[in-house]
Amino acid sequence: MKSVHFDRPGLPEVLFIKNSKIPIIKDTEILINVKFAGVNRPDIIQREGNYPAPNGHSPILGLEVSGIVSKVGAKVKDFKKGDEVAALVNGGGYAEYCAADQLTTFKLPKNISLKEAAGIPECFFTVWSNLIMNGKLKKNKKVLVHGGTSGIGIAAIQILKTFNAEIFTTVGSNKKKQFCKNLGVQHVFNYKEQDFFEEIKKINKSNLDMILDFVGGEYVKKNINLLATEGKLINIGFQNGSIVDLNLIKVMLKRLIITGSTLRIRNIKFKAKILKSLKKFIFPHFENGTIKCYIDSVHKIENVVSAHQRLQEGTHIGKVILEL
Ligand SMILES: NC(=O)c1ccc[n+]([C@@H]2O[C@H](COP(=O)([O-])OP(=O)(O)OC[C@H]3O[C@@H](n4cnc5c(N)ncnc54)[C@H](OP(=O)(O)O)[C@@H]3O)[C@@H](O)[C@H]2O)c1
């Protein structure tokens, strides 16, 4: 089968297509004939050599796919050959065939195409598990999400809207600012022109209940200062660095919770629990069109280098998708 590989870490140009063996599935797995695969920032970090596949996971890039069931394992109950599905996978998505556990695979919600479905798993599983399961978000809270037009940011904003949150976000251009306003975000800051910390302080006297951040670096101190008593800071990445100079007294005085997680290393049982909740609380919104998978661009697998360049240059809004 056609699949994407790299022999050494580096720039997008290290990626190339080669033939490899079709994965052999376990009894509980499904073999998906991949039609589309989502491209995520963790794929870039892996390509750069900083996020190796955990033991037992495919070394091929790609954490989410959509396609047609080609084969099912002996213990697979709810899927059959020919079903249209999407899945969160343990790597291997940038390939014509990918193995997926039955517990992290789902039939497409009504009104969602295969192209859109490929952009759902990684971001929606990550955001749901962090904000709702770990953060225990309640309705009507004030929440800041950094990077509002990233795959993660757009998923977070849409999930937060279902909790009637007052949403704050940061973006890197005025085009992105307008996109977030159209999405229904009340407070959007172009971090290249405004200091989000000063702006939020001005408009918000009672401070924030929760912050979802993947920027880190100089944002950590500002985040801690913006949180209300018993507020929660959830870090799912540190694009600007994870080593910071910090006075932690505010954590003690405000009884803050600082937490975070990485989805990839969690076991199938935990991921299955996330999917169960998403099906119950979020899939109905996909079906009635109140939540969407916003796609920035679709790239043929032969152009995987341009797909990675597009994500890495950072001007995209929404998901970058590979077409097999
Ligand atoms: N822990 C986990 O389980 C997990 C899972 C998935 C993803 N993640 C992390 O979540 C992040 C987003 O992933 P993604 O796939 O959605 O990536 P993405 O679409 O490429 O988003 C990255 C975004 O970061 C924004 N950004 C860069 N510097 C910023 C700054 N100083 N302030 C605010 N925004 C800034 C960029 O927007 P601008 O152009 O506007 O700067 C860009 O939209 C990544 O760091 C990724 O590693 C973690």
pLDDT in tens, 6-22: 999 999 999 999 999 99
Q: 128 and 165 share a domain?
A: yes
Residue 266 has pLDDT above 80, yes or no: yes
Give the C-alpha separation, 224 to 66, whole Å.
38
Q: 133 and 105 share a domain?
A: no
Q: 83 and 103 share a domain?
A: yes
User: What DSSP state is assigned to residue 95?
Assistant: B
Question: What CATH number does the domain containing 43 carry?
Answer: 3.90.180.10
Q: 131 and 62 share a domain?
A: no
Nearest residue (CA) to ligand 1, atom 46: 41
Whether the Cβ atoms of residue 208 and residue 146 lie closer than 8 Å to each other? no
Ligand 1, residues 152, 234, 322: which to mutate, most atoms within 8 A of Cβ? 152
- How many structural domains compose the chain? 2
Q: 202 and 144 share a domain?
A: yes
| Cα→Cα distances 78→30, 85, 90, 107, 271, Å | 10, 11, 20, 9, 17
pLDDT for 199: 95
Q: 66 and 168 share a domain?
A: no
Q: 131 and 247 share a domain?
A: yes
Q: Which residues pair with 98 in a beta bridge?
A: 32
Q: What is the mean pLDDT of residues 238-259?
A: 96
Q: 300 and 315 share a domain?
A: yes
pLDDT for 172: 98
Residue 81 Cα to ligand 1 middle (Å): 36
281 within a domain of the structure (yes/no): no
282 within a domain of the structure (yes/no): no
Ligand 1, closest atom to CA 263? 3
Give the C-alpha separation, 210 to 232, whole Å.
5
16 within a domain of the structure (yes/no): yes
Is the distance from the beta carbon of residue 314 to the nearest atom of ligand 1 less than 6 Å?
A: yes
Last residue within a domain, chosen from 240, 260, 280: 260
Question: Count of CB atoms within 10 A of residue 1's CB?
Answer: 15
Percent pLDDT > 90 in the chain is 98
Residue 179 is encoded by which pair of tokens? 């996109």
Question: Count of CB atoms within 10 A of residue 197's CB?
Answer: 17
Ligand 1, residues 39, 146, 150: which to mutate, most atoms within 8 A of Cβ? 150
Is the distance from the beta carbon of residue 146 to the nearest atom of ligand 1 less than 6 Å?
A: yes
Residue 80 Cα to ligand 1 middle (Å): 36
Give the C-alpha separation, 52 to 195, whole Å.
35
Is the distance from the beta carbon of residue 150 to the nearest atom of ligand 1 less than 6 Å?
A: yes
Ligand 1, closest atom to CA 39? 15
Q: 162 and 224 share a domain?
A: yes
Is the distance from the beta carbon of residue 171 to the nearest atom of ligand 1 less than 6 Å?
A: yes
Quick: pLDDT tens for 58-106: 999 999 999 999 999 999 999 999 999 999 999 999 999 999 999 999 9
Q: What is the mean pLDDT of residues 262-268?
A: 96
Question: What CATH number does the domain containing 159 carry?
Answer: 3.40.50.720
Give the C-alpha separation, 259 to 108, whole Å.
32
Is the distance from the beta carbon of residue 122 to the nearest atom of ligand 1 less than 6 Å?
A: yes
Residue 241 Cα to ligand 1 middle (Å): 13
Expressed as residue numbers, the domain containing 224 is 124-260
272 within a domain of the structure (yes/no): no
| Cα→Cα distances 4→69, 88, 93, 123, 315, Å | 21, 18, 9, 22, 24
269 within a domain of the structure (yes/no): no
Q: What is the mean pLDDT of residues 157-168?
A: 98
Residue 73 Cα to ligand 1 middle (Å): 36
Q: What is the mean pLDDT of residues 102-126?
A: 98
Going by C-alpha positions, the residue among 88, 41, 71 that lies closest to residue 267 is 88
The mean-pLDDT minimum among 22-31, 151-160, 172-181, 202-211 falls in: 202-211
93 within a domain of the structure (yes/no): yes
- Residues with Cβ within 8 Å of 125's Cβ and at least 6 positions away in sequence, in order, are 88, 263, 271, 274, 275, 278
Residue 108 Cα to ligand 1 middle (Å): 26
Q: 115 and 77 share a domain?
A: yes
pLDDT for 105: 98
**Helical H segments across the chain, by residue range:** 41-47, 114-117, 121-127, 151-162, 174-183, 196-203, 219-226, 249-253, 268-281, 283-288, 304-313
Q: 103 and 155 share a domain?
A: no
Q: 137 and 112 share a domain?
A: no
Residue 289 is encoded by which pair of tokens? 């069109």
192 within a domain of the structure (yes/no): yes
pLDDT for 89: 98
Percent pLDDT > 70 in the chain is 100
pLDDT for 312: 96
pLDDT for 15: 98
Rounded to the nearest integer, the mean pLDDT of the chain is 97
Quick: pLDDT tens for 145-162: 999 999 999 999 999 999
Residue 115 has pLDDT above 80, yes or no: yes
Residue 54 Cα to ligand 1 middle (Å): 21
Q: Quick one: pLDDT band at residue 204, thresholds 50, 70, 90?
A: confident
129 within a domain of the structure (yes/no): yes
Residue 206 has pLDDT above 90, yes or no: no
